């Protein structure tokens, strides 16, 4: 079970203030937040999610290229935090959420200030200017061993002048040392000096709820793929052997071959009926086959399955007419992933 689920619920007042409609609600299992960030905890709490906090023990400064692409950097750090926490789960089937964020200002990456003096300098520099946040979320499903990572960006435009009193009040709390670029935008004093936020205040605070929802939807889609195609996922299914009367345009096998080609697959035609040499006569003659489409008499089909096993093929699509019960049972006994139906209308396994 996932740590939270999605629902078509109205946005809470807090999320409405951020211009961010949240469609998430608490699920049966708990979400594990791999972050000590108070703003992230606040956002998840206001979204109505149950979660536990566990802080990753990593040397962030020792990872990534601060002179390179900020998106690549935050993705790398978010995943490193997840990798550090996974061993602590000890078999817990939880959803693990980790995050990272940097601020970019005038082309330079800013991370958390090293002290209050640097935080003050950061805040002063924003007057009359615009800084950008680049953040990453990593959502890891420990039960399915699936991971989705995404990034979000936002811009914060400041007033032309920041009052001296506001700058000093903005760094009174040491919580500012936990904010990339000292951009503690949820602080009332900072908010008073912000003219415009583009990309969502929750994104600036380090956790885009829309991105989190998107990652959850992608995880759900992959769980469905795992349930259906699990044994063959992770192996490209690009080269398909179609076994049947593939050279006769009036026969279903020819239409199946065209459908696979239109879907971007490489089709290797096999027909025991062909005497012209225009296609392969046996499956065992075909090089490098990833998947098998069987559209031939059940008696011949059972023999083809034996060849498929020898060739290391792991997936077979058995068309109507070829899908006798004994053929399906034999394919399963050989350890093949079996899909029955019609290629012309059915979903295909992912290319990658």
Question: Of 244, 242, 284, 248, which is closest to residue 267 (Cα–Cα)?
Answer: 242
Q: What is the Cα–Cα distance from 147 to 149, expressed in whole angstroms?
A: 7
**What is the number of structural domains in the chain?**
2
Judge if 238 and 152 occupy the same domain: no
Judge if 256 and 290 occupy the same domain: yes
Judge if 181 and 290 occupy the same domain: no
- Asked if residue 351 is part of any domain, the answer here is no
pLDDT at 230: 66
DSSP conformational letter for 12 = P
Judge if 66 and 154 occupy the same domain: yes
CA distances from 241 to 146, 234, 279 (A): 30, 19, 11
Judge if 52 and 180 occupy the same domain: yes
Map tokens 């077979």 to a residue. Answer: 316
Judge if 246 and 136 occupy the same domain: no
Map tokens 């971007």 to a residue. Answer: 264
Judge if 35 and 116 occupy the same domain: yes
Q: What is the CATH number of the domain that holds 320?
A: 3.40.50.720
Q: What is the CATH number of the domain that holds 78?
A: 3.90.950.10
pLDDT at 13: 31
Q: What is the Cα–Cα distance from 33 to 217, expressed in whole angstroms?
A: 18
pLDDT at 235: 66
Judge if 210 and 243 occupy the same domain: no
Judge if 207 and 245 occupy the same domain: no
Q: Residue 49's domain spans which residues?
A: 4-230
- Asked if residue 86 is part of any domain, the answer here is yes
Residue ending a domain, choose from 189, 213, 230:
230
pLDDT at 266: 93
Length of the chain as a residue count: 352
HSE-up of 202 (CA within 13 Å, CB side)? 25
* Pair 239, 288: CB distance under 8 Å: yes
Residue ending a domain, choose from 189, 214, 230:
230
- Asked if residue 166 is part of any domain, the answer here is yes
pLDDT at 231: 66
- Asked if residue 345 is part of any domain, the answer here is no
Helices (H), 140-208: 164-170, 188-192, 201-204
DSSP conformational letter for 300 = H
- Asked if residue 120 is part of any domain, the answer here is yes
pLDDT at 11: 35
- Asked if residue 352 is part of any domain, the answer here is no
Per-position b or e across 263-274, b if 16+ CB within 10 A of its CB: eebebbbbbbeb
* Pair 233, 291: CB distance under 8 Å: no
Judge if 215 and 311 occupy the same domain: no
Q: What is the Cα–Cα distance from 135 to 151, expressed in whole angstroms?
A: 5
Q: Is 118 exposed, middle or buried (0-12, 13-18, 19+ CB in 10 A)?
A: middle
Which regions of the chain are under pLDDT 70?
1-29, 166-173, 230-236, 351-352
Residue ending a domain, choose from 197, 230, 263:
230
DSSP string, 45-85: HHTT--EEE------GGGSS-TTS-HHHHHHHHHHHHHHHH
Judge if 60 and 160 occupy the same domain: yes
- Asked if residue 81 is part of any domain, the answer here is yes
Judge if 294 and 189 occupy the same domain: no
- Asked if residue 46 is part of any domain, the answer here is yes
């Amino acid at each position: 079970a996932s740590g939270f689920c999605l629902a078509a619920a109205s946005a809470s007042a807090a999320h409405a203030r951020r211009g961010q409609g949240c469609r998430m609600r608490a699920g049966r299992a708990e979400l594990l937040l791999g972050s000590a960030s108070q703003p992230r905890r606040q956002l998840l709490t206001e979204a109505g999610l149950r979660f536990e906090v566990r802080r990753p023990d990593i040397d962030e400064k020792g990872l990534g290229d601060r002179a390179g692409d900020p998106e690549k950097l935050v993705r790398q750090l978010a995943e490193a935090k997840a990798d550090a926490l996974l061993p602590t789960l000890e078999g817990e089937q939880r959803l693990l959420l980790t995050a990272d964020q940097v601020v970019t200002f005038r082309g330079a990456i800013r991370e958390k200030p090293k002290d209050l003096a640097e935080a003050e300098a950061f805040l002063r520099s924003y007057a009359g200017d615009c800084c950008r946040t680049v953040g990453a979320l990593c959502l890891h499903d420990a039960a399915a061993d699936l991971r989705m990572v995404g990034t979000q960006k936002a811009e914060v435009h400041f007033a032309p002048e920041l009052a001296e009193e506001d700058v000093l009040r903005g760094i009174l709390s040491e919580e500012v040392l936990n904010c990339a670029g000292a951009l503690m935008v949820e602080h009332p004093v900072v908010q008073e000096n912000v003219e415009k936020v583009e990309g969502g205040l929750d994104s600036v605070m380090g956790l885009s709820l829309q991105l989190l929802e998107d990652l959850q939807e992608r995880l759900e889609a992959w769980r469905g793929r795992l349930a259906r195609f699990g044994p063959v996922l992770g192996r490209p299914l690009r080269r398909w052997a179609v076994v049947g009367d593939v050279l006769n345009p009036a026969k279903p096998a020819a239409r199946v071959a065209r459908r696979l080609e239109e879907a971007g697959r490489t089709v290797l035609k096999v027909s025991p009926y062909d005497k012209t040499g225009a296609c392969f006569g046996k499956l065992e003659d075909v090089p490098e086959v990833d998947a098998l489409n069987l559209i031939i008499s059940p008696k011949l089909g059972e023999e083809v399955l034996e060849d498929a096993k020898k060739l290391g093929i792991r997936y077979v699509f058995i068309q109507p007419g070829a899908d006798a019960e004994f053929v399906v049972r034999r394919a399963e006994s050989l350890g093949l992933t079996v899909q029955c139906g019609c290629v012309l209308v059915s979903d295909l396994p992912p290319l990658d």
